[in-house]
Chain A
């Protein structure tokens, strides 16, 4: 067997290992997408307890993804070396093109699925970020308003209208 054939055989084996890792990433990102969809509902319902739980689930999934990414990077380097592509930027499309048959098809399909998942996760994540920014602003504004109210308790009448004549006590407390 020639050196090229040995490398080719090794590349196919590594390619299947890569496929296994990418399959796992697809499963993981699908779960992450579900969590982010649920997060959007929780943000709209202002459910703090649910949000804390969702953040924890997301943290676990992100951590698992980072472990898979370590394997994926290691396999990418090995595959690129075996395919003689070590000098170029080892992208999945390039690696899939350099392989043959079913494996190449599988990797091309996985690339499309992962790209779609990443786009969708990022799109929803950005939408959630807008909701979070709005929620944080509302929380901080209400905090500031209640703080003023605590320090100047007579700033509002019992009917809820702003007092035109805050008492001396309120003004004194306002100096705290």
Chain B
């Protein structure tokens, strides 16, 4: 994630944080923010990522976004030369933007966290796939 995006996430998290006199945070918000269970137990990476995954969020904006990204990926399998974009004129994009703007801040933060989580998972998988075998091993089998 770029530095500007990290700053943006941190800004969102600060804005999503409850005011001192306001509502208490829910157990889930605390767990998601600190990486710990409400009981204070550390969670495994898999538990945390599963919980934060975009596809598990219930807000309509998250569901729309998940469907949009899936559609973009599937479009590649239909037509490898297609380069789908996120044009603002696209009705589904503008609907997503509207749903996002109506979502409570905690939901927006969760959604952006989930996006960052997905990007991290994708980048890790990409790095692995780019370096599966050494040249020496391939030469040995030649």
User: Which residues of chain A have a CB within 8 Å of any CB of chain B?
Assistant: 32, 36, 39, 43-49, 51-56, 58-59, 62, 69, 72-73, 76, 89-93, 111, 114-115, 118, 121-122, 125-126, 128-147, 149-150, 153, 155-162, 176
Contacts and interface: CB of A to CB of B under 8 A. Distances in A.
Instruction: List 8 tightest A-B contacts by C-beta distance, closest first.
Output: A141-B86, A49-B50, A160-B95, A138-B72, A48-B53, A160-B98, A125-B129, A160-B94
Which interface residue of A58, A121, A139 has the most chain B CB atoms within 10 A?
A139
Contacts of B133: 118, 121-122
10 contacts: A46-B69, A47-B53, A121-B133, A122-B133, A129-B129, A137-B72, A143-B115, A150-B108, A157-B98, A158-B98
A156 to B, nearest CB: 4
What DSSP secondary structure best describes chain B's contact surface?
Answer: helix
Counting chain B residues whose Cβ lies within 8 A of the other chain, the interface size class is 35 or more
Contacts, number: 182
Contacts of A47: 53, 55
A144 B115 CA distance: 11
B129 A43 contact: no
Contacts of A126: 129
Contact of B54 (A46, A54, A92): A46
B12 interface: yes
B111 interface: yes
A121 B133 CA distance: 10
A111 B141 contact: yes
Interface in B75-93: 76-77, 80, 84-86, 88-89, 91, 93
